Amino acid sequence: MPPSNESAPASPPLKIARATLHDRIVERLHDMLIEGELAPGERLNEVALAARLEVSRTPLREALRVLASQRLVTLSPHHGAFVTRMTRAEIDDAFELMSALERFSAELACERVTESEIAAIRAEHAEMMAYWARRDLPRYYRANQRIHDLINRAARNDELRETYLALNRRLHPLRLSSNRSAAKWQKAVEEHEAMLAALERRDAAELGELMRRHLLEKRDAVLEGWSHEDR
C-alpha cells in the first residue's frame, strides 16, 4: 500500500447515478416555473404541492431549498415558499449581467468556434428567420434560445454556460413582455443577421459588442412592458 493513499480522501464514484426523488422534483418544479404553471409571487403550500406531485414533504422541502438557492423561489421562514417575483432593480441588474455573459461568450466563441459549429448556427439562424417570416413567435423564441446556446457551447466554458443558463431560467418568465412591437422584432432580427456575420468573420470585439447591446435592448423592451403590467 503506498503511503500517500492513507491520507487520500475518498472521492465520489464516477458511475451514472439514477436520479433521486428530490432531484426529479427540482426538475419538475423547474418545468412548472418555465411553463408558467406557477406564477411569480404565487405561494407554494408544502402539503398541497406534495399532494399534487404525489410525494412526501421531505423531498419537496429539499427541492424548495435548492430552488431557493437558485433564487427561483423565495423562502420566508414560518411563512412559506413563494415563486420569486423580481423587482425592477433586480431585472435591471440581471439583464446587465447577462449582457456581460453574452459578450464574453461571444468573444470566446470567436476564438474557439469550429466550421461545423458555425454551419449549425447558420442553419438554426435560417430556421429562426423562417419562423420570423411566419410571425411564429414561440418557435422563433425557441430557435433564438438554441442559437444563443450554440454560441455558448462554442465558447467552451462550462462554468460560463451554467451561469448563463441559471440566469436565463430566472429571466424566462419575463420573455412574454418583449418583442411585442413589430418594429422591435424587426430590429432584433437585423441584429441577429449582424451577429451571424461577425461570428463568421470571427470578429470577437464586434460580436461581443453586438451581443451586449442586443441584450441591453432586450432589457429595455422587457422593462417597458413590465412597468405597466406588474407592480
Residues lying near a second copy in the complex (CB under 8 A): 8-13, 17-20, 22-23, 39-43, 58, 61-63, 65-66, 68-70, 74, 76-80, 82-83, 85, 89-90, 93-94, 96-97, 100-101, 103-104, 108, 157-160, 163, 167
Which residues make Cβ contacts (< 8 Å) with residue 101, sequence separation at least 6? 160, 163, 164, 167
Q: Least Å distance between CB 113 and a second copy?
A: 16
Across the strands, what pairs with 75?
Answer: 81
**Binding of DNA at residue 69 (CB under 7 A)?**
no
Given DNA, a second copy, none, residue 177, with its beta carbon under 5 to 8 Å by kind, binds: none
Q: Least Å distance between CB 230 and a second copy?
A: 10
Binding range to DNA, per CB under 7 A, among 52-60, 93-101, 174-182, 207-215: 52-60
**Binding of DNA at residue 32 (CB under 7 A)?**
no
Q: Are 53 and 28 in contact (CB under 8 A)?
A: yes
Q: How far apart (Å, rounded) are the C-alpha atoms in residues 214 and 195? A: 9
Nearer to DNA, 71 or 146 (CB): 71
Nearer to a second copy, 18 or 135 (CB): 18
Given DNA, a second copy, none, residue 100, with its beta carbon under 5 to 8 Å by kind, binds: a second copy
**Binding of DNA at residue 208 (CB under 7 A)?**
no
Given DNA, a second copy, none, residue 70, with its beta carbon under 5 to 8 Å by kind, binds: a second copy
Q: Least Å distance between CB 21 and DNA?
A: 3
**Binding of DNA at residue 56 (CB under 7 A)?**
yes
Nearer to DNA, 46 or 206 (CB): 46
Catalog residues that contact DNA under the rule CB under 7 A.
13, 20-22, 44-48, 55-59, 61, 75, 77-81
